Structure 1
Amino acid sequence: MSKLELITTNLIDTIERLAEEASEIYILTSFVMRSGVKKLLPALQKAANRGTDIHIGTGDYLHITQPDALQLFVDKLPEANVRMWQSGGRSFHPKAYLFRMNDEGCVIVGSSNMSASALTGGIEWNVSADDSELFETALAEFEAIFYHEHTIPVNMETVKKYRERYAEFHRRQSVAAQWTEAEEESMMLEGPSDQAELIVEMNEPYTYKLIPRPAQEEALAALYATMDEQYERALVVMATGLGKTYLTAFFAERFKRVLFIAHREEILEQAKNSFLHVHRDRTAGILNGTYKEKDADMIFASVFTLNSTHHLHSFQPDDFDLIVVDEFHHAASKSYEKIRHYFTPKFFLGITATPDRMDNKDVYSICDGNVAYRIHFLEAIQKQWLAPFHYYGVYDDTDYSSVTWLGTRYDEEELLAVQMRTEMANKILQAWLKHKQTRTIGFCSSIKQADFLSRHFNEKGYKTVALHSQTTSMTRPAAIKALDKGQLDIIFTVDLFNEGVDIPSVDTILFVRPTESLTVFTQQIGRGLRIADGKTHCVMIDLIGNYRNADVKMSVFDTDPTQKKKGAIPAVPENCLIDFELKAVELLTEMSRKRNPRKEQIRFAYEDLKLELGRRPTYLEFHLKANADSKAIKDVHNSYPGFLYNIGELNEQEAVAFRNHENWFTEVEKTGMNKSYKMVVLKYMLERGADHWTKPVKPIEIAPFFHDYLTSKEYRKRINFSDKQGKKLWQYDEKAVAKLIADMPMTMWSGSSNGLVMFDGELFKVDVNIEEREKEIIFEWTKEICKYRLHWHFERKAKNLEKLND
């Protein structure tokens, strides 16, 4: 039986006692005050020094959280993972303190936020429960909020942004909300939480044996070829509806024990059922906040549960022969990083339907640059593996320019103010009536918008339901079944159908939200493309307004984003249709005319990434993690330092250094590179440090480094030394390598660099005059560009080889 204790005063004493023993600490409070952080810091710092995992979540509701409190975490507790829920005006009021001690767990839930009065002498009621089962349940709820897309990391940059919003909010109030430490009191914020994850799935027993579909057969052949080439990691990019999960189940036949990792609970349940259908003689278990089935042959784990050191270390690093990461575009996030670095499987497989964001992630560090199989949804449509579509762009005259952008999304309350109008609802209804077929999913921005539109449509005589985490009138399986049977016209939802849930009979998709994420947009399109009896095509109805990404969203219909397109509307397969209202076309054209979409997109992506990292991103970090094509940096700004200069990110000293050496940065950025040799030579020179990197060097000096770099990784050797002459250099021959260096990168670069790089047949040097005060700046930027160009070169070449092998 659980040990329960009512704590009505000095909660700080209990927290300090538990923190001394805890291996993991999780705190979730609606707001944090400087006084409360100061009270808790000593105990949390001691715990952090012992290696305790610390996660702290708070919110910005009513801007009660103090920027100075967040700054204390950044400055004094850098080991902790701190995130803040962006409420958008919606109530947010949890107060929970969770502690794991070995195999035991303690949960404290009550009225105490993180302020001095709430933790010490205030009138507060909190209940402490020593209950491991309750702890795991609470932890699952914590993780659902903590890693939700509405949360942002707390770091130097996000605190600075929040401080500005905090000051502006309180400036507008009639009474400024400022508290001294003596005046602070805990505040109870009313209103139901809507963030609980609704996890329901219809499980039906399988009565027939599956065989791979054509797309799965192609992908399996590619994966087996990859294994024959001694690769241990691979990525498969398959459009939604082609059966990625069953593909991994078929592939798992060659492996004894399997770990399948996903970030959504319903994906785990679906994957478990799919694998059991293929492997009826194996056992399967779920590892999440509710179930801890760790002894099965096939384990389907929530990334958030597995990310806990307690659960992660309950396995040996080599316990699994195959590890599969579903929706791989999430895999470069911090929540996956610890897991990836801990396990050593025989094979690591990533699967995703949305390569757009993946192209900007660190493919090489995760999958050794090996994209085993890739098929875009347009190609699948051409092969008749997915249903064709008719896409209708409907003009939306709503002015989104005045709605506040919060970094990753629009402010919800401000967005609702323009969305929840009868005039707007009627416009959506008319567009739907004009183009709809039989079964519709409507994707909304928020729960309130979904409820509003559902009520409006119902009042007009149509059968709809708003399906989300707060829905009580109908269960999710019942709604899915009713839509499938034609008993419902529309399911309005927010994000329940983005990943992992399909209704093949859906033949109409209604977009009534600004497109904030191209990845999510791609996933939502996929909800209507599954083939079903009697379904000829999918209708997509999209309201096009002057919101962010409106003029770049069409890129999801692009199979080759490197090719320049004429006009705003892309070409699609013959059996598909894209039809925009004239005003919508004019809007997109005007948006493109007024601004450079690529220029603005990389600026937005840079600002978002800077907030995520808490500092200025390096060039390679921008390429790997920003939601934009890094190639635009060179095309628009000539170099990464040039980009930073043009957007005002450089201090005075950096700006002077850039202006003095702009030509050098452009040269390093733009010099031709059919092979990687120039940058390998430059990398060697940079290895000598800021004081010596420009000093002359002989080809023979570089030869050992040059050969080792290009042969130490299989993909580098395969890409650079694949021709007849190159294969001769697989075995090190100092003179032959030195001759190659002299003949190719040194001579060629010297002849094309306008005197910035010189080679006289014996000595190679960078001829750039650098003042002492600029030395470190020029060195670091040159190193950033060199590192980026090497990575980009091998990534691009690997993709070209992949196309040749298709």
Structure 2
Amino acid sequence: MIHHIERAEEIYLLTAFVMDSGVKRILPSLKKAAERGADIRLLTGDYLCITQPKALKKLIAELPSAEVRLWQNDGRSFHPKAYLFRFSSGGHVVVGSSNLSASALDGGIEWSLSAASDQEQLFEHSAESFMNLFQHECTVPVNIKTIERYEQIFDAFHSTKDVHKVWTQSEEEAVMFGEPEDQDVPEEVFETSVAGEIAPREAQQQALQALTETMDLGYDKAMIVMATGLGKTYLAAFFARQFKRVLFIAHREEILRQAKASFEHVSGEWTTGLLTGTEKQMNEDVIFASVATLSRKHYLDQYHPETFDLIVVDEFHHAAAVSYQKIINHFKPGFLLGITATPDRNDGKDVFAICDGNEAYNMNFWKAIQHQWLAPFHYYGVYDETDYSKIRWLSSGYDQEQLEQVQLRKGMAEKIYAAWNRHRQTRTIAFCSSIKQAEFLADYFREQGKQVTALHSKSGYSRQKAIKELHEGLLDVIFTVDLFNEGVDIPPVDTLLFVRPTESLTIFTQQLGRGLRLFEGKSHCTVIDLIGNYRNADVKLKVFDQDPSSFERDHKTVIPDMPEGCKVELETSIIDLVKEMGKNRLQVRDRLINELDDLTLEMGERPTYLQFHRMASIPSIFVKRTFGSYVYLLKSAGKLTDDEEKAADLYKDWFIEVEKTGMVKSYKMVVLLAMLERGPESWYKPVTAEEIAYSFHHYLTEKKYRKVIDFSDKKGKSLWEYDEKKVAKLLKDMPLAKWSGSSGGLVKFEDNQFLFNIPEPDDELQKELYELTKQICQYRLEEYFEKKASKPKTN
């Protein structure tokens, strides 16, 4: 291993358990590899709490450039062992029984297969499999915060259980042999595009016009939100016709193949190629690349940052993930376009900031239904009496074994069948929690004389065949496990059956979109949903709100108003359940603190105000409403240092003033930013309008959209070219005088001297006051321009 580490440019280590002794053994070689720029990634697991926290601490402390992730036990054993090395030519794979411990690497009795691969096929296949696990939803980044959380679990486990002496027989067998991984093997997708259709539809025409306008404003990034079924990929292809070289990235190979076909349909002038685990076409006009492949150093380094004129990020709600960010941060395209039907990552992680807050066009499924571009729906909520509060919740969902114990009951199958038979139409997709549930329900429906199949990674039943038979009416129901969330459209489907707890609003919205495509003879889509007291059961109904921006649902009105053709019917027990869950749901104050804790854990450090705004699943506007300032959210959550807390107490009025002062234009915060440029010791001291005129003007004109938004009046246009006297006069007439008059004495402008009338900080508080003020200023500017730039661009 050390011999390979010393030569490799990519080092991927996959080991179920990591021990301090093993880290010490190879750490010197890994540090040398990191110094020469090798791409190092390590994935380990928390199964049975064998991985040592001190080993993880050593890894992140000694290898800050390496990416380390931890697989969180989801009810299955986790103990692969593989060591992958790519060299300048060829690769090497070691697969076997050795975990990362000194005894396993040096002196223990272990069997491993070590294989060189001059043609790289073995390495490529192994590396793709590694990346699939590395990016799995069960993994979390290893940082000081996630280690602290794991260490608590580790200590509690070992305080009550000697893991080496009291393993049960099943645990021992799992440690020795493992259990098979449920993997979705991509297949060819049934192509449903209409042959010969190369002219943009109306929604696509509107989006293209919006993109033209946003480019005219000087934006080089934009996000398009379009409901499933409106042709996001074709839109990207139409838009791409004005660019020479295009990169299209997505996280699944089947999406890439479908996109490639769509682009080729729009224009035959392009040469197109796939960059995936199985194909490596890297020099064509349009490259369709999988994130797992392109995010790897070996492939990313082969492209100059300015290679592509346009980059299209499909399913843009994933774009905040580390693997996507590696790609986005590497390139400097002429334009970056993100397309998605669901703009939030992980039910709320904001991706707006990745495109400078520029949502060029939004056509969600509500608007599309009202335009008659998608089918209306009839939603039936059926009460599920299962007590989910008694089922253990793991980091990524309910404990699979415990969940199956309540799902795989004849009484549950009878209830599901009765609800389906009462409301169904002709062709149904049923979304299940697990393979066992899908097979169990398929067997029960067959006993009732229905034509059904269970479609999953182990079924051996072709997805293309299943879709074809459903289309032709040979199947009544396809029971599936997450195979139809993204990238596949089946227009004839007129019934959706949800027999799983809704743990992700993003996935629920994607699955809902599977039934809304228009089709001849289809009047509406029937949605049958079993609802119990599972997590998010009440919150999921906000998907049906036409105004999803309303953060706190009025639980007195459980059923929102529906547009013509749509309806929502909930059984009385569900209405009572939702009202009760609404009463018990955490107050906004507690949710903000919990969100701050979660982000701190995810990032490994306390988020700035801007990071909280970009990433939190609760709108940042509630920070000001609830705490007065982000500073006091931090204080309430115990996240301030002692000196920061002193500054928070001494300068409370100041922080609240910066947070709450009115902003018809951005000018006040631009002035503050210009003053902050003078540093922690001087930023609050007197300044003249002439002294900050250049910084003020430069900020508002360096980005064209800022200039258009805030210098668009007749007087402002004369300031597009810098003139110190004119800019200084604007400053005196507007932000300096107006802020002075509205601040209650905290801001003063007298005798051409502008200053902040706050107590002069001691040396020990200068940095804290400066940094906290700067965070509020940066947040307010970004939030202001996001709002101004996101005015509706649709009819």
1:78/1:452 CA distance change after superposition, 3 Å: farther
SS, match of residue 6 in structure 2: helix
Aligned equivalents of 2:693, 2:193: Cα separation in 1 = 63
Whether the aligned pair in 1 keeps the contact of 2:312 and 2:339 (CA below 8 Å) is yes
Determine whether 1:666 maps to 2:656. Answer: yes
Aligned equivalents of 2:389, 2:627: Cα separation in 1 = 26
Matched ranges for 1:29-108 at <5 A: 29-108=15-94
Q: Which residue of structure 2 aligns with residue 509 of structure 1?
A: 496
Matched ranges for 1:441-452 at <5 A: 441-452=429-440
Q: Tell me by how many angstroms 1:672 deviates.
A: 1.1
Q: 2:755 aligns with which of 759, 765, 773?
A: 765
Aligned equivalents of 1:370, 1:83: Cα separation in 2 = 32
Q: What amino acid does structure 2 have at the position aligned with 1:68? A: K
Residues 617-626 or 428-437, more deviating = 428-437
Q: What amino acid does structure 2 have at the position aligned with 1:511? A: F
Determine whether 1:750 maps to 2:740. Answer: yes
Whether the aligned pair in 2 keeps the contact of 1:23 and 1:100 (CA below 8 Å) is yes
Q: Which residue of structure 1 aligns with residue 350 of structure 2?
A: 361
Q: Which residue of structure 1 aligns with residue 171 of structure 2?
A: none
1:608/1:431 CA distance change after superposition, 3 Å: farther
Aligned equivalents of 1:440, 1:489: Cα separation in 2 = 6
Whether the aligned pair in 2 keeps the contact of 1:312 and 1:339 (CA below 8 Å) is yes
Q: Which residue of structure 2 aligns with residue 430 of structure 1?
A: 418
Q: Tell me by how many angstroms 1:17 deviates.
A: 0.4
Matched ranges for 1:132-151 at <5 A: 132-151=120-139
SS, match of residue 570 in structure 1: coil
Whether the aligned pair in 2 keeps the contact of 1:145 and 1:195 (CA below 8 Å) is no
Q: Tell me by how many angstroms 1:171 deviates.
A: 4.2
Q: Tell me by how many angstroms 1:600 deviates.
A: 4.9
Determine whether 1:525 maps to 2:515. Answer: no
Q: Tell me by how many angstroms 1:50 deviates.
A: 1.0
Identify unmatched segments of 5+ residues in structure 2.
168-173
Q: Tell me by how many angstroms 1:234 deviates.
A: 2.7
Relative to the length of structure 1, the TM-score reads 0.91
Aligned equivalents of 2:719, 2:395: Cα separation in 1 = 50
1:161/1:419 CA distance change after superposition, 3 Å: farther
Aligned equivalents of 1:399, 1:166: Cα separation in 2 = 29
Q: Which residue of structure 1 aligns with residue 170 of structure 2?
A: none
1:509/1:761 CA distance change after superposition, 3 Å: farther
Whether the aligned pair in 1 keeps the contact of 2:274 and 2:280 (CA below 8 Å) is yes
1:425/1:762 CA distance change after superposition, 3 Å: farther
Q: 2:772 aligns with which of 775, 781, 796?
A: 781
1:119/1:794 CA distance change after superposition, 3 Å: same
Q: Which residue of structure 1 aligns with residue 668 of structure 2?
A: 678
Q: Which residue of structure 2 aligns with residue 3 of structure 1?
A: none
Q: What amino acid does structure 2 have at the position aligned with 1:146? A: F
Note the alpha carbon deviations across 1:31-54, whole angstroms, 9 max, x for none: 222222221211111111111000
1:655/1:376 CA distance change after superposition, 3 Å: same
Q: Tell me by how many angstroms 1:60 deviates.
A: 2.1
Relative to the length of structure 2, the TM-score reads 0.92
Q: What amino acid does structure 1 have at the position aligned with 2:308? A: F
1:415/1:330 CA distance change after superposition, 3 Å: same
1:601/1:90 CA distance change after superposition, 3 Å: same
Note the alpha carbon deviations across 1:331-372, whole angstroms, 9 max, x for none: 2322122322333333332211112449853535x4344433
SS, match of residue 496 in structure 1: coil
Whether the aligned pair in 2 keeps the contact of 1:232 and 1:346 (CA below 8 Å) is yes
Q: What amino acid does structure 2 have at the position aligned with 1:390? A: H
1:385/1:404 CA distance change after superposition, 3 Å: same
What fraction of aligned residue pairs are identical, expressed as a percent?
55
SS, match of residue 542 in structure 1: strand
Residues 406-415 or 111-120, more deviating = 406-415
SS, match of residue 536 in structure 1: coil
Note the alpha carbon deviations across 1:170-205, whole angstroms, 9 max, x for none: 4454657799xxxxxx95342212236433434699
1:293/1:703 CA distance change after superposition, 3 Å: same
Q: Which residue of structure 2 aligns with residue 793 of structure 1?
A: 784
Whether the aligned pair in 1 keeps the contact of 2:219 and 2:705 (CA below 8 Å) is no
Matched ranges for 1:450-529 at <5 A: 450-472=438-460, 474-529=461-516
Q: Tell me by how many angstroms 1:283 deviates.
A: 3.0
Note the alpha carbon deviations across 1:660-694, whole angstroms, 9 max, x for none: 43333222211111111111122222222222222
SS, match of residue 747 in structure 1: helix
Matched ranges for 1:650-661 at <5 A: 650-661=640-651
Q: Which residue of structure 2 aligns with residue 543 of structure 1?
A: 530
Determine whether 1:636 maps to 2:630. Answer: no
Q: What amino acid does structure 2 have at the position aligned with 1:790? A: L
Determine whether 1:223 maps to 2:214. Answer: no
Q: What amino acid does structure 2 have at the position aligned with 1:756? A: L
SS, match of residue 224 in structure 2: strand
Q: Which residue of structure 1 aligns with residue 313 of structure 2?
A: 325
SS, match of residue 188 in structure 1: helix
**Number of residue pairs matched by the alignment:** 784
Determine whether 1:618 maps to 2:608. Answer: yes
Whether the aligned pair in 1 keeps the contact of 2:71 and 2:139 (CA below 8 Å) is yes
Note the alpha carbon deviations across 1:695-742, whole angstroms, 9 max, x for none: 222222221111111111111111111112221221222222223222
Q: Tell me by how many angstroms 1:643 deviates.
A: 1.7
Note the alpha carbon deviations across 1:298-351, whole angstroms, 9 max, x for none: 221101111122212323333333321111122232212232233333333221
1:741/1:517 CA distance change after superposition, 3 Å: farther
Q: 2:367 aligns with which of 366, 369, 379?
A: 379
Whether the aligned pair in 1 keeps the contact of 2:319 and 2:351 (CA below 8 Å) is no
Whether the aligned pair in 2 keeps the contact of 1:170 and 1:177 (CA below 8 Å) is no
Q: What amino acid does structure 1 have at the position aligned with 2:507? A: V
Aligned-residue Cα RMSD (Å) equals 2.8
Whether the aligned pair in 2 keeps the contact of 1:61 and 1:88 (CA below 8 Å) is no
Q: Which residue of structure 2 aligns with residue 6 of structure 1?
A: none
Q: Which residue of structure 1 aligns with residue 718 of structure 2?
A: 728
Q: Which residue of structure 2 aligns with residue 4 of structure 1?
A: none
Q: What amino acid does structure 1 have at the position aligned with 2:426? A: T
Q: What amino acid does structure 1 have at the position aligned with 2:350? A: K
Residues 403-412 or 260-269, more deviating = 403-412
Q: Tell me by how many angstroms 1:485 deviates.
A: 2.5
Q: 1:252 aligns with which of 240, 247, 252?
A: 240
Aligned equivalents of 1:232, 1:72: Cα separation in 2 = 41
Residues 107-116 or 330-339, more deviating = 330-339
